[in-house]
Amino acid sequence: MMGSMSAEVVICGAGIAGIAAAYSLSINGHKDILLLDSGSPLALTSDKSTEAYRNWWRDEALLALMNRSIDLMQDLAEKHNNIFRLNRRGYLYATADAAKISDFRSTAQRTCEIGAGPLRIHRQAESSHYQPAAPENINDQLSGCDLILNSQMIKFQFPYLSSATVAVLHARRCGWFSGHQLGILLYELALEHGVRFMNAEVVEITTQGNRVQEVVVRQDNAQSRIRTSVFVNAAGPRLQKVSALLGHSLPIFFERHLKLSFRDTLGIIPRDAPLLIWDDAQVLNWTEEEQTLLAGEEDMRVLLGLLAPGAHLRSEGGPDSENIILLWPYDTEPVAPEFPMPIAQVFPEIALRGMVTMVPGLKAYVNNMPKPFVDGGYYVKTPGNRMLCGPLPVEGAFVLGALSGYGLMAACAAGELLEAHIAGATLPPYAAAFVPARFDDPTYLDNIKSWGPSSQL
């Protein structure tokens, strides 16, 4: 049976991107917005995140976007009694490689210059004015970064780090929050402002004269046609599939990212610690027997070699919780998304061993890990790692996606930016960096080939 209805704006996908778009449109006076999802809101990728945020980016456009998004998150936190528990503990990048100190210094200098805030370098313990972050308070906190190059001081401030650590960079306008609570808050505010939600799958989009005309959705076994002039593709890992309904292909690829959590029953990680990141590539320490086992399996052999930098962890939950979350994106080969997502059995052990290098106390869990929980999702990425936000070649069609590993932290500013595109309003200076049409520019395509690693987490 085929029903028929209409909406001014149809948004496909109620992950954090679609919800943030619906929220921004609704608070800016747009009426008759229909938010569609084939599953439950926030349940595909947006509830799998580490829920961390940072204004620490080498890419100026991403840095400006995140600064705006953090401003918006702070406003929301203030207005809504910080219901999504935004904190400001910072990201602590550490290295044991003395040769990397000059890299740390130049990265810190440049990132601060392009908008992260002031740089404070601490060389001597006695004369230093390093201020630790407040565990929960988000007001009157430092921004920019503290670069600590004195091992005595590193040991004093972060006694749980490996004694081999020679430098730490504490980026300050960073921390974490409950992504689910933020999503639910934006969703509820959007509904209060008149947005309708429908549990249905977008299966067809019809156009007339290169203009969006109708969206066909399937709900149970029935199909409905929705007349609309504005369609937003916010389908997360299904972005390409939905784009194909418009006869258009997007420049994206997918990476699988896993995350481990378990109870730190021995209290190795202080509950007020910042997010900890080991910035060195590393070779794991395997016994001879383990080496033979790994060498015998083709897809495991990689674990014997040099593995990527970026193992990281943070504590999770309130003061009574013992949970910690560990991640290590050591395998980021592009994949085709499949659901449910396959989970490598070996991941908990690898993530833990990666973090033992940074926090040796965690070794106590290597053969004795409290019941681990592993989940994960797909990073949807463009070459260059900048999201897609703006109009598509079909008139009335827009995209908000390819939010990589930063969708939760970027959502507020990304939703706001999409609204400005749809309204034809004045765009912020960073807008051009995210429009899909940049991929039609051969100079841009040439430029991104020379961009270095995106320092994603």
Ligand X SMILES: Cc1cc2nc3c(=O)[nH]c(=O)nc-3n(C[C@H](O)[C@H](O)[C@H](O)COP(=O)(O)OP(=O)(O)OC[C@H]3O[C@@H](n4cnc5c(N)ncnc54)[C@H](O)[C@@H]3O)c2cc1C
Q: Is 52 in the site for ligand X (CB under 6 A)?
A: yes
Q: Is residue 237 involved in binding ligand X (CB under 6 A)?
A: yes
Judged by CB under 6 A, the chain residues 183 through 202 that form the site for ligand X are 201-202
Q: CB of residue 126 vs ligand X: minimum separation in angstroms?
A: 36
Q: C-beta of 326: minimal distance to ligand X in Å?
A: 11
Peptide bond into 442 cis (omega under 30): no
Q: Any idea of the CA torsion for 72, 73, 78, 84, to the nearest 10 degrees?
A: 160
Contact characters 106-125, ligand X, x per CB under 6 A: --------------------
Element spanning 409, H or E = helix 407-423
Least spacing, CB of residue 195 vs ligand X, in Å: 15
CA 335 to chain centre: 18
Q: By CB under 6 A, which span of 42-50, 126-134, 163-171, 348-356 interacts with ligand X?
A: 42-50
Q: Which of positions 330-389 make contact with ligand X (CB under 6 A)?
A: 376-377
Other C-beta atoms lying within 10 Å of the C-beta of residue 131: 12
Min dist CB 433 to ligand X, Å, is: 17
C-alpha–C-alpha distance, residues 410 and 364, integer Å: 36
Report the alpha-carbon distance of residue 45 to residue 42 in Å, rounded: 7
Q: How far is the CB of 438 from ligand X (least distance, A)?
A: 19
Residue placing its CB nearer to ligand X in the complex, 44 or 171: 44
Residue (of 117, 405, 113) closest to 254 by Cα position? 405
List 9, 11, 17, 35, residue binding ligand X (CB under 6 A)? 17
253-263 and 373-381 strand pairing: antiparallel
Residue span 161-180 as binding mask against ligand X, x where in contact by CB under 6 A, dash where not: --------------------
CB 252 within 8 A of CB 380: yes
Q: From the CB of 130, what's the least distance to ligand X, in Å?
A: 25
The DSSP annotation for 260-317 comes to EEEE-TT--S-TT--EEEE-S-B-----HHHHHHHHTSGGGGGGGSPBPS-EEEEE-S
Cα–Cα dist 205/228, whole Å: 10
Indicate whether 39 belongs to the interface with ligand X (CB under 6 A).
Answer: yes
In this chain, which of 11, 18, 25, 111 binds ligand X, going by CB under 6 A? 18
How far apart CA 144 and CA 138 sit, in angstroms, is: 15
Can you give the three-state secondary structure of 163-198, one letter per residue?
Answer: CCCCEEEEECCEEECCHHHHHHHHHHHHHHCCCEEE
With contacts defined by CB under 6 A, name the span among 38-46, 134-142, 316-324, 422-430 that binds ligand X. 38-46
Nearest to 457 by CA among 356, 310, 343, 353: 310
413 near ligand X (CB under 6 A)? no
Single out the residue of 11, 21, 35, 49 in contact with ligand X (rule: CB under 6 A): 49
Specify the residue, 109 or 456, whose C-beta has the smaller distance to ligand X. 456
Task: Identify which range of 126-134, 229-237, 415-423, 443-451 contacts ligand X by CB under 6 A.
Answer: 229-237
Residue 255 Cβ vs ligand X, minimum distance, rounded to whole Å: 9
Please report the sign of the dihedral spanned by the C-alpha atoms of residue 452, residue 455, residue 456, residue 457. positive
Binding residues for ligand X restricted to 243-262, rule: CB under 6 A: 257, 259
Min separation Cβ 36 and ligand X, Å: 5
- Per the structure block, which two tokens stand in for 118? 């002031």
Looking at beta carbons only, is 96 or 186 nearer to ligand X? 186
- CA angle, 294 as apex, 292 and 300 as ends, to 5°? 160
401 binds ligand X (CB under 6 A): yes
Query: Is 406 a binder of ligand X (CB under 6 A)?
Result: yes
What's the closest the beta carbon of residue 314 comes to ligand X, in angstroms?
9
Rank residues 317 and 360 by Cβ distance to ligand X and give the closer one: 317
How many residues sit close enough to ligand X to count as binding (CB under 6 A)? 41
DSSP H/E element including 140? none
Q: Which of 21, 25, 30, 46 binds ligand X (CB under 6 A)?
A: 46
Sequence-ordered list of residues with C-beta below 8 angstroms from that of 290, at least 6 positions apart, any chain: none
Per CB under 6 A, residues contacting ligand X are: 12-18, 36-39, 43-46, 48-53, 201-202, 234-238, 242, 257, 259, 376-377, 401, 403-409
